[in-house]
Structure 1
Amino acid sequence: MAVQLDRDGPSTPKRQPVQLYHLSSQYRHWRFSKEQLAKIRQDLIEQAVERVRTLWEEERAQQAQAGANGVPAPTDASASEPPSQPATPPAPSDIEYLSVADEQLLVAYYLQQAVGLCGAFKFPEAVSATALSYLKRFYLRNTAMDYHPKDIMLTCVFLATKTENYPISIDTFAAKVKVAPADILALEFLVSQSLHFEYKVHHAYLALSGLVLDMQTTSVPSPSLASALPRAQAFLRAARLSPAELVYAPSQIALACMRLADREAVETWLEEKLRAGAAVPREGRDGGGEGRKEEGGEGGAPGREEGEPAQLAQEELLRLLDEVQAMIQEQQRSTVDKNKVREVDRRLKWARNPEKDPKSALYKKRKAEEEAAREEKERAKAAKRPPNDDASVFD
Structure 2
Amino acid sequence: MISNIVPEDARYLSSTQYRLWSFTPADLQALRTTTNQFAADRVREAVRRAREARALSSADVSDADPESKSRGASALPEGEVDCLTVEEELKLITYFCRQTLQLGDHLNLPTDATAVQYIKRFYTTNSLMTYAPDTILRTALFFATKTENHYFRLSKFAEAIANTKPEDVLASEFLLTQGLRFTFDVRHPFRALEGAVMEMGAMAQGAVPYNESAGSQPQDMSRRVKIAHGVARDRLKTSALLTDVYFHFTPSQIMMASLLLADEELIHWYIASKFGTEDPMAQKILIVLSDCAGMLQTIEPVAAGPTTERKAISALAKKLKKCRNPEKIDLVALQKVKREGDGVEDEKVIKKRKMEREKVAREADELFGPGLTTG
TM-score band w.r.t. shorter chain: 0.7 to 0.9
Q: What is the deviation of 1:384? A: 4.4
Residues 1:328 and 2:314 are matched in the alignment:
no
The answer (yes or no) to whether the contact 1:218–1:272 under 8 Å persists in 2 is no
CA deviation vs aligned residue, 1:222-241 (integer Å, no higher than 9, x gap): 22211221111122222211
When normalised by structure 1's length, the TM-score is 0.74
The answer (yes or no) to whether the contact 2:190–2:236 under 8 Å persists in 1 is yes
CA deviation vs aligned residue, 1:260-299 (integer Å, no higher than 9, x gap): 1112221221111113xxxxxxxxxxxxxxxxxxxxxxxx
Q: Percent identity?
A: 30
Distance 1:373 1:235, change over 3 A: closer
Which has the higher Rg, Structure 1 or Structure 2? 2
The answer (yes or no) to whether the contact 1:137–1:195 under 8 Å persists in 2 is yes
Letter in 1 for 2:45: T
Query: Pairwise CA RMSD of aligned residues?
Result: 3.1
Partners of 1:34 and 1:369 lie apart in 2 by: 38
After TM superposition, the runs of 4+ consecutive aligned structure 1 residues lying more than 6 A away are: 366-370
Distance 1:378 1:19, change over 3 A: same
Residues 1:345 and 2:314 are matched in the alignment:
no
Q: What is the deviation of 1:18? A: 5.0
Unpaired segments of 5 or more residues in structure 2?
A: 63-72, 205-216, 359-375
Q: What is the deviation of 1:65? A: 2.2
**What is the number of equivalent residue pairs in this alignment?**
324
Q: Which residue of 2 aligns with 1:246?
A: 247
The answer (yes or no) to whether the contact 2:54–2:76 under 8 Å persists in 1 is no
CA deviation vs aligned residue, 1:231-259 (integer Å, no higher than 9, x gap): 11122222211111111111011001111
Which among 43, 48, 52 is matched to residue 61 of structure 1? 52
Unpaired segments of 5 or more residues in structure 1?
A: 7-14, 72-85, 276-308, 390-395
Residues 1:150 and 2:172 are matched in the alignment:
no
More helix as a share of residues = 2
Which among 204, 209, 214 is matched to residue 189 of structure 2? 204
Deviates more, 1:222-231 or 1:326-335: 326-335
Partners of 1:372 and 1:272 lie apart in 2 by: 65
Q: What is the deviation of 1:383? A: 4.7
When normalised by structure 2's length, the TM-score is 0.78
Letter in 2 for 1:224: R
The answer (yes or no) to whether the contact 1:204–1:253 under 8 Å persists in 2 is yes
CA deviation vs aligned residue, 1:309-367 (integer Å, no higher than 9, x gap): 963222221111111111111211874722222222222223111111349xxx89x98
Partners of 1:368 and 1:188 lie apart in 2 by: 16
Residues 1:385 and 2:357 are matched in the alignment:
no
Partners of 2:253 and 2:39 lie apart in 1 by: 34
Q: What is the deviation of 1:373? A: 8.2
Partners of 1:141 and 1:39 lie apart in 2 by: 11
Q: What is the deviation of 1:213? A: 2.1
Partners of 2:150 and 2:7 lie apart in 1 by: 37
Q: What is the deviation of 1:17? A: 8.0
Residues 1:123 and 2:91 are matched in the alignment:
no
Partners of 2:23 and 2:76 lie apart in 1 by: 38
Letter in 1 for 2:115: A
Which among 188, 191, 199 is matched to residue 173 of structure 2? 188
